[in-house]
């Protein structure tokens, strides 16, 4: 068979244990047709074959980011980036510059905000933000997407200033003056504030409620949203990514992405889950089954249920077995009560759906495993590949249960306190000293024989794969409380390719470089194995190929 594209002279790492190393890859019609030596592959050359000389660069399966929020990540590309700042005064020039040419921006939204911005701030957050921007709605969305800080105007317009009825797990924090302080914890509380934004909050709906726009989006809004998604997808492709597992979802996103696929405009594969909220009746799982039946495309598919069982450590909402050192009566919040959650797991599993649950604290992880265990007891064992997302603290007993239940660990190297992105918390604030050894325990998870998948949770951290690889292979040394969790390069690359594909039941479709599989590849602009571990983040992406089509080209080949 003749190839339409050949990459030769590469350091090809196939991630296929049966034939791990090669020099060249040939592909045609979106499929790999040969992997081997330059000579092996040249036999499929014809006149029309495009040939790319990799000149010793690394050629890998396209990266798979197995935990992202594409719609929000895309939207954030156009909002005001404030990540990394820990001083509100430093925001002033950024806000002034941002609003100067945006007189009609309905909500000035700073994104990627660090919790440190409000440390040591005496006044209520809304007052502190009023000092920066009083006459227009202004809010900051935390990098982790679990908290919003809003000024008074935003609270007024969102109907939150005098408090509001909230679902379990969400809080509009009220001040002694009887007014909201501006601190909005979790989606139920900040959804109404973000709905004021330029996107009408449509980018957040799959996350906040899992419902579709109501009233339905106009055709102009749909086109604007598709353009936004394409912008995000181009950004993702520039980081070598060919597949995403989205972690929020609704029919609306599936419709937009399927339309792009049908129009031949989608250069990416993406799974969109059904998002079940704690206030939903379990009958809504029929919608998840409907998504699974209806969306089975080569590039766009469903089949998974996403839930949140707790919050995050930074806002002290992650559910822990022990209280927080600096907040001795607070164990965090169980978003779902155990009975409701267990019943949801049993029902979703019985429908043949995969489940992935956000669980940060160790008690949250225990609760998730309780649900998965009950599903096995009730429905019998099957190859379910249910996932736990984040597991930032885990007990030894639960490591064993995860292994026994065949549950997958989905972790984010750059979220760790030693990941080099977020500032490490002060000692004895979030973690007791003896909890550090059980926190972000990638090495222990892998040693326990649990399948380990890596991702970013973009836009929580940038969707930059190489920076995450650096966090995994060369984490910061934070002292003896924090055992070394560093990963080998090979394991890390596997966790970004083959494991992620397997986790989505796609191991026979993509994730390794083998004849017959999808032609999804990334060419790095150098040899990853020769790269200094501390300098991994600096290794650029030269080219990304999805379905045999070039989805990103740095122009360096």
- What backbone phi and psi angles, to 5 degrees, belong to 520? -115, 110
Nearest to 287 by CA among 276, 299, 298: 276
Are 322 and 432 in contact by the 8 Å Cβ rule? The answer is: yes
Nearer to Zn ion, 189 or 247 (CB): 247
The residue whose two tokens read 């079940």 is: 276
Nearer to Zn ion, 210 or 548 (CB): 210
Span from 14-22, 183-191, 256-264, 450-458 in contact with Zn ion (CB under 5 A): 450-458
Nearer to Zn ion, 153 or 415 (CB): 415
Strands 171-174, 180-185: pairing is antiparallel
Strands 387-390, 354-359: pairing is parallel
Distance (Å, whole) CA 28 – CA 549: 10
Nearer to Zn ion, 360 or 524 (CB): 360
Tokens, residue 305: 């249920």
Nearer to Zn ion, 190 or 482 (CB): 190
Nearer to Zn ion, 8 or 421 (CB): 421
- Tell me how far CA of residue 217 lies from CA of 63, 245, 272, in angstroms: 32, 24, 19
- Is residue 142 part of the contact set for Zn ion (CB under 5 A)? no
Span from 98-106, 150-158, 244-252, 365-373 in contact with Zn ion (CB under 5 A): 244-252
Number of other CB atoms surrounding residue 70 within 10 Å: 30
- 104, with CB counted inside 10 A (0-12, 13-18, 19+), is exposed
Q: Residue 70 CB, nearest distance to Zn ion (Å)?
A: 11
- Is residue 247 part of the contact set for Zn ion (CB under 5 A)? yes
Span from 134-142, 313-321, 454-462, 493-501 in contact with Zn ion (CB under 5 A): 454-462
Span from 27-35, 134-142, 323-331, 455-463 in contact with Zn ion (CB under 5 A): 455-463
Span from 215-223, 418-426, 437-445, 451-459 in contact with Zn ion (CB under 5 A): 451-459
Nearer to Zn ion, 12 or 393 (CB): 393
HSE of 311, CA atoms in CB hemisphere, 13 A: 25
535: Cβ–Cβ under 8 A, 6 or more apart, which residues?
Answer: 470
Site for Zn ion in 11-30 (CB under 5 A): none
DSSP, collapsed to helix, strand or coil, labels residue 176 as: coil
Q: Residue 412 CB, nearest distance to Zn ion (Å)?
A: 9
Q: Residue 264 CB, nearest distance to Zn ion (Å)?
A: 29
Q: Residue 278 CB, nearest distance to Zn ion (Å)?
A: 16
Nearer to Zn ion, 79 or 207 (CB): 207
CA dihedral 519, 522, 527, 531 (to 10 degrees): -140
Q: Residue 73 CB, nearest distance to Zn ion (Å)?
A: 10
Q: Residue 49 CB, nearest distance to Zn ion (Å)?
A: 41
Dihedral-angle region of residue 37 (phi above 0 means left; psi in -120 to 50 means alpha; beta otherwise): beta
Q: Residue 109 CB, nearest distance to Zn ion (Å)?
A: 18
- What backbone phi and psi angles, to 5 degrees, belong to 350? -65, -25
Binding string, residues 196-235; x marks residues near Zn ion by CB under 5 A: ----------------------------------------
527: Cβ–Cβ under 8 A, 6 or more apart, which residues?
Answer: 11, 56, 57, 58
Span from 26-34, 230-238, 239-247, 448-456 in contact with Zn ion (CB under 5 A): 239-247
Site for Zn ion in 29-48 (CB under 5 A): none
Tokens, residue 218: 């106009």
- β-strand partners of 5: 27, 50
Binds Zn ion by CB under 5 A, chosen from 105, 457, 491, 547: 457
Nearer to Zn ion, 208 or 247 (CB): 247
Point out which residues bind Zn ion (CB under 5 A): 247, 457
């Amino acid at each position: 068979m003749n190839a339409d594209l050949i990459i030769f002279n590469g350091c090809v790492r196939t991630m296929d244990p049966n034939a791990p190393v090669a020099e060249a890859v040939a592909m045609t019609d979106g499929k790999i047709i040969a992997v081997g030596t330059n000579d092996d592959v040249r036999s499929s050359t014809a006149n029309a074959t495009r040939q790319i000389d990799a000149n010793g660069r690394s050629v890998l399966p396209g990266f798979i980011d197995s935990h992202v929020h594409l719609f929000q990540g895309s939207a954030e590309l156009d909002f005001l980036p404030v990540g990394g700042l820990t001083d509100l005064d430093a925001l002033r020039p950024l806000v002034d510059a941002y609003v100067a040419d945006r007189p009609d921006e309905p909500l000035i939204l700073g994104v990627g905000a660090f919790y440190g911005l409000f440390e040591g701030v005496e006044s209520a957050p809304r007052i502190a933000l009023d000092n920066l921007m009083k006459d227009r709605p202004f809010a900051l969305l935390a990098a982790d997407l679990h908290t919003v800080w809003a000024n008074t105007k935003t609270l007024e317009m969102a109907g939150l200033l005098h408090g509001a009825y909230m679902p379990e797990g969400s809080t509009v924090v009220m001040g002694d003056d009887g007014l909201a302080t501006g601190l909005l914890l979790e989606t139920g509380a900040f959804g109404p504030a973000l709905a004021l934004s330029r996107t009408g909050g449509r980018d957040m709906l799959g996350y906040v409620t899992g419902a579709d726009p109501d009233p339905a989006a106009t055709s102009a809004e749909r086109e604007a949203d598709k353009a936004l998604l394409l912008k995000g997808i181009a950004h993702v492709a520039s980081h070598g990514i060919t597949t995403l597992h989205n972690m929020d979802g609704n029919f609306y996103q599936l419709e937009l992405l399927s339309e792009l696929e049908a129009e031949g405009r989608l250069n990416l594969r993406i799974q969109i889950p059904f998002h079940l909220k704690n206030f939903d009746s379990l009958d809504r799982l029929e919608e998840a089954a409907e998504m699974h039946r209806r969306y089975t495309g080569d590039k766009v598919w469903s089949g998974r249920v996403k839930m949140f069982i707790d919050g995050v450590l930074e806002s002290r909402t992650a559910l822990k077995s022990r209280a927080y050192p600096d907040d001795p009566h607070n164990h965090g919040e169980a978003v779902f009560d155990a009975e409701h959650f267990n019943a949801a797991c049993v029902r979703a599993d019985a429908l043949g759906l995969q489940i992935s649950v956000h669980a940060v604290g160790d008690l949250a992880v225990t609760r998730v495993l309780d649900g998965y265990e009950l599903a096995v007891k009730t429905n019998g064992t099957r190859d379910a590949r249910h996932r736990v997302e984040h597991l930032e603290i885990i007990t030894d007993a639960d490591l064993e249960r995860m292994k026994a239940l065949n549950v997958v660990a989905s972790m984010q190297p750059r979220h760790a306190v030693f990941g080099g992105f977020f500032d490490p918390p002060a000692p004895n604030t979030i973690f007791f000293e003896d909890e550090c050894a059980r926190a972000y325990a990638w090495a222990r998870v892998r040693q326990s024989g649990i399948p380990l998948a890596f991702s970013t949770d973009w836009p929580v951290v940038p969707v930059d794969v190489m920076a995450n690889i650096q966090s995994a292979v060369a984490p910061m040394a934070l002292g003896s409380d924090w055992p070394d969790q560093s990963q080998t390069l090979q394991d890390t690359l596997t966790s970004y390719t083959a494991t992620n594909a397997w986790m989505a039941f796609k191991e026979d479709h993509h994730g390794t470089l083998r004849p017959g599989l999808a032609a999804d590849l990334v060419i790095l602009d150098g040899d990853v194995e020769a790269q200094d571990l501390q300098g991994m983040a600096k290794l650029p992406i030269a080219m990304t190929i999805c379905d045999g089509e070039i989805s990103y080209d740095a122009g360096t080949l």
